[in-house]
Amino acid sequence: MATEVDTWSTAAQADGMFSFDDNLAEANRPYSVDEDLNEAEVNGNWTPQEKALHEARLKAKAKRRLRKSSSRNSTSESFSESGDLVGGDPHSPKGKVNTNDRKSRTGKGRGLPKKGGAGGKGVWGAAGMVYEDEEPDVRDPNYDEAAQGDTVYATVVPEVDERELEKMVNPIVQEYFEHGDTKEVQMLLKGLNLGPHKYEFSSLAVSLSLEGKASHRELTSRLLSDLTGKLLSQSDMARAFDKILKELPDLILDTPEAPQMLGQFIARAIADHILPMSFLDCYKGKVDCEHARVALDRAAVLLTMKREMVRLDNVWGVGGGLRPVKHLIKEMNLLLKEYLISGDVTEAERCLRDLEVPHFHHELVYETIVMVLESKGDTASHMMIKLLKSFWKTGLITVDQMNRGFQRVYEELPEINLDVPHAHSIMETFVDLCYQESVITKQLRDTCPSRGRKRFVSEGDGGVIKT
């Protein structure tokens, strides 16, 4: 009987009939790769790659069986004190905590929402929270430019570099010497951002005027007076003149009279209240440069001489067009008399240029001819022709001014003849010499008036005029 029971149990197992206990034990036991591998298969002709693939398949099958067993026991899941699932796999989706839950994920606390409900997307904040005014952001899609008020655009002018300052200032000063309008210079300087180098404008203007004429220096003194208190201060002017005093050794190479002229500038600036009265006192006993001492001494002498005057207006003389006519006539007569004594054509030309009255040069031609008519001998006539010829070649006296001077003498010749009886004959001789030296044109020579009495050949020649 025992033999039949053993046989029945063995046969049943052979037919694929398994008991419940065997099935449950097989599901709960850990699956071992070594047990499932058949020794015949392992010891067969498998390659290492095939063996590794077979082991990976068995491990995957074991994980699937473990998931199935854990799902069957899901009703018995519970949280531990740390918040992890008891008996759950941390890698399993079932073991993950809901990420959208606002409660604490650490398992600590009272389970209240984060930040007291003031955080999160779409939340305005905690109750009673006051927000400060925020500046509108241009990148905000709801930004409205029209609602922000009028837009103000500010022009930023870069500061002028010290190396480019001279290139920008020189044209302004040169143009000012032509028009003499100080307001235009102020407008141009306001458009420039000179920065800490604004005092150098004064030094450059004075340096350029030293190389120019007396009228240029007068205009520069007026310009500095108008700029003081508006664009430049007394300290800026003091720095500018201090710089020029240090540059005198270089300035005298082009302008030998620079020390004396600078002294006149300083005296005029102190009189115009451009420089403080204590400017000269700051240099007493502290100047080693010989040229600077000459300039300071010149300024001190002028201030001592003109102490009674409020302004040294005539330190540069009066400008050409501003001088009275009588004064100009007196200057031209003095010029011609000095020329007759010295015979220096170059000095006479320099004096005429210094007068700066090119529109009044016809007066010089008139005074020259009258001086020839009133002189005795031919010396004055030849010297004056030489002088007029030099002025004609250099272009100092133009054709219009030359013709106008001769025409004035032609018109006044009858009156001149009352004081000089031989004025007509002297005039005819002088005009012929001027034409021979190409000083006047043929038309101007032909318009010269005669003595006023026609001489006939004889009474019986039929009225033929003697030539």
State the chain's maximal CA–CA distance in angstroms. Answer: 208
Residue 268 resides in a domain: yes
What are residue 159's phi and psi, to 5 degrees?
A: -70, 135
Which residue among 271, 305, 339 closes a domain? Answer: 305
Looking at the structure, do residues 196 and 275 belong to the same domain, yes or no? yes
Pair (301, 185) in one structural domain: yes
What pLDDT was estimated at residue 345? Answer: 92
Euclidean distance between CA atoms 40 and 37, whole angstroms? 8
Question: Domain residues for 341?
Answer: 322-446
C-beta neighbour count of 293 within 10 angstroms: 15
CATH code of the domain covering residue 428: 1.25.40.180
Considering 279, 305, 331, which residue would you say is the last residue of a domain? 305
- Same domain for 327 and 252, yes or no, is no
* pLDDT at residue 241 is higher than 90: yes
> In this structure, are 187 and 243 located in the same domain?
yes
Domains held by the chain: number: 2
Reference 37, options 60, 16, 58, 61; nearest CA is 58
Per-residue pLDDT of 52-105, as tens digits, reads 888 888 888 888 888 777 655 554 444 444 444 444 455 555 455 555 655 555
Instruction: Tell me, yes or no, whether 183 and 264 share the same domain.
Output: yes
Give domain status of residue 106, yes or no.
no
Residue 122 domain-assigned (yes or no): no
Does a structural domain hold residue 332? yes
Assess if residue 382 is contained within a domain. Answer: yes
The answer to whether residues 324 and 291 touch, using CB atoms and an 8 Å cutoff, is no
Clarify whether residues 339 and 406 are in a common domain: yes
- Say yes or no: 166 and 300 in one domain: yes
Among residues 305, 333, 358, the one where a domain terminates is 305
pLDDT digits (tens, 9 = 90+) for 137-171: 777 877 776 666 666 777 777 787 777 888 888 89
Is the CB of residue 292 less than 8 Å from the CB of residue 244? Answer: no
pLDDT band at 358 (very low <50, low <70, confident <90, very high): confident
Amino acid identity at 198: K
Tens of pLDDT, residue by residue over 295-347, are 999 888 888 875 544 456 667 765 555 667 888 888 899 999 999 999 999 99
Q: What is the DSSP string of 231-282?
A: TB-HHHHHHHHHHHHHTHHHHTTT-TTHHHHHHHHHHHHHHTTSS-TTTGGG
Q: How confident is the model over 406-447, as pLDDT tens digits?
A: 999 999 998 988 888 888 889 999 999 999 998 898 899 888
If asked whether residues 197 and 295 sit together in one domain, one would say yes
The 10s digit of each residue's pLDDT in 255-287 is 888 999 999 999 989 988 889 888 888 888 788
User: Are both 192 and 295 inside the same structural domain?
Assistant: yes
DSSP string, 325-376: HHHHHHHHHHHHHHHHHH--HHHHHHHHHHH--GGGHHHHHHHHHHHHHHS-
**What six digits make up the tokens of 138?**
């241009």
CA atoms within 13 A on the CB side of 334: 9
Q: Looking at residues 127-135, what average pLDDT do you find?
A: 74
Q: Do the domain assignments include residue 338?
A: yes
Are residues 399 and 439 in contact, defined by beta-carbon separation less than 8 angstroms?
Answer: no
Confirm whether 227 is domain-assigned.
Answer: yes
Cα separation of the two ends of the chain: 193
> Would you say residue 81 lies in a domain?
no
Residue 335 shares a structural domain with residue 297: no
Question: ∠ at Cα 335 (329, 336), nearest 5°?
Answer: 95
Digit-coded pLDDT (tens) for 107-126: 666 666 667 667 667 777 77
Contact 438, 445 (CB under 8 A): no
Residues 6+ apart with CB under 8 A from 363: 328, 329, 332, 405
In this predicted structure, the answer to whether residue 188 has a pLDDT above a threshold of 80 is yes
Q: Considering just the CA atoms, what is the radius of gyration of the chain in Å?
A: 58
- 368 plus 342 within the same structural domain: yes
Q: What is the pTM of this model?
A: 0.48
Mean pLDDT of 357-367: 90
Same domain, 282 and 232: yes
Nearest alpha carbon to residue 263 among 276, 244, 281: 244
